[in-house]
Amino acid sequence: MAEVRRLLDRYLVEIVETYELCPWAQAARSGGELAVEILWQEPGEDAWVSAAESQLARPGIRVVMIVAPQSRLAPAELRALRDRVAARIPTAGVADFHPVAELELATPARLVPFLRRSPDPLLQLVPLALLDGVRAAPPPVALAEQARMLGGIAQRPREAVADRIAAANHARVSADAAALAARFADIAADRARSYARVGITTSPRP
């Protein structure tokens, strides 16, 4: 379990925070406002929902991540699961992260799956009340728009807003694409070595 969390923290620090993909990632992580739960084997939909609801109910939690290190769900299957979980938890925005995605810089939209290439399949949930609070607060416009994006499918922004955020990420990542890809590869290699060492069984990704 410690290795799963260590690898997730590598992704959060070295990718999400370094490239400023989330406006409150560092504060949530370092301030104890991020809740992480690990589900083993191939969890069913009820297990994902139960874990999410339990963590969202904890006082002071701003971001919840449910991680399934042994899941063999393909990206499309995880997106379908995200849809079902979002329908059952209408008080939170839900986003899916999956370790399988190629770097595609052709358009800003095609880059998004790569930026969500977490070490293991996971669902991220953010209370919609928090998203509403961000809209009412006075942070810089770019950060407020990024925060609205965290709602995933349950809180989809206007197309123009999504386009501006995607374009900003695309420009930032394009300037350092090789280093970013190398960092993702290093995290993936770390995962393979670490899980083999501690006996976490996994199967090849689809």
Q: Along the 206 residues of the chain, how does pLDDT read in single tens digits?
A: 899 999 999 999 999 888 877 767 788 888 899 999 999 999 999 999 999 999 999 999 999 999 999 999 999 999 999 999 999 999 999 999 999 988 777 677 777 788 899 999 999 999 887 755 544 444 444 444 444 444 444 444 444 445 666 676 777 777 788 899 999 999 999 999 999 999 998 866 65
Q: Token pair for residue 102? A: 């190629």
CA 166, 167, 168: angle at the middle one, nearest 5?
90
The alpha carbon of residue 106 and the mean position of all alpha carbons in its chain are separated, in whole angstroms, by: 22
* Greatest C-alpha distance within the chain: 47
CB contact at 8 A, 119 and 188: yes
Nearest-angstrom CA–CA distance, 117 and 98: 5
Per-residue confidence (pLDDT) for residue 148, from 0 to 100: 47
Per-residue confidence (pLDDT) for residue 6, from 0 to 100: 98
Instruction: Phi first, then psi: give them for residue 92, nearest 5 degrees.
Output: -135, 150
Per-residue confidence (pLDDT) for residue 81, from 0 to 100: 98
The three-class DSSP label of residue 19 is coil
Cα→Cα distances 152→67, 155, 187, Å: 17, 6, 24
What is the H or E stretch that residue 66 is in? strand 63-67
Nearest-angstrom CA–CA distance, 96 and 46: 17
CB contact at 8 A, 153 and 83: yes
Q: Token pair for residue 182? A: 């190398």
Per-residue confidence (pLDDT) for residue 183, from 0 to 100: 94
The DSSP code for 15 is I
- Pairing between strand 122-127 and 92-97? antiparallel
Per-residue confidence (pLDDT) for residue 111, from 0 to 100: 79
The three-class DSSP label of residue 119 is coil
Per-residue confidence (pLDDT) for residue 21, from 0 to 100: 76
CB contact at 8 A, 61 and 33: yes
Task: Provide the whole-model pTM.
Answer: 0.81
Per-residue confidence (pLDDT) for residue 132, from 0 to 100: 55
Per-residue confidence (pLDDT) for residue 19, from 0 to 100: 84
CB contact at 8 A, 19 and 172: yes
Q: What sign does the CA torsion over 18, 79, 202, 67 have?
A: positive
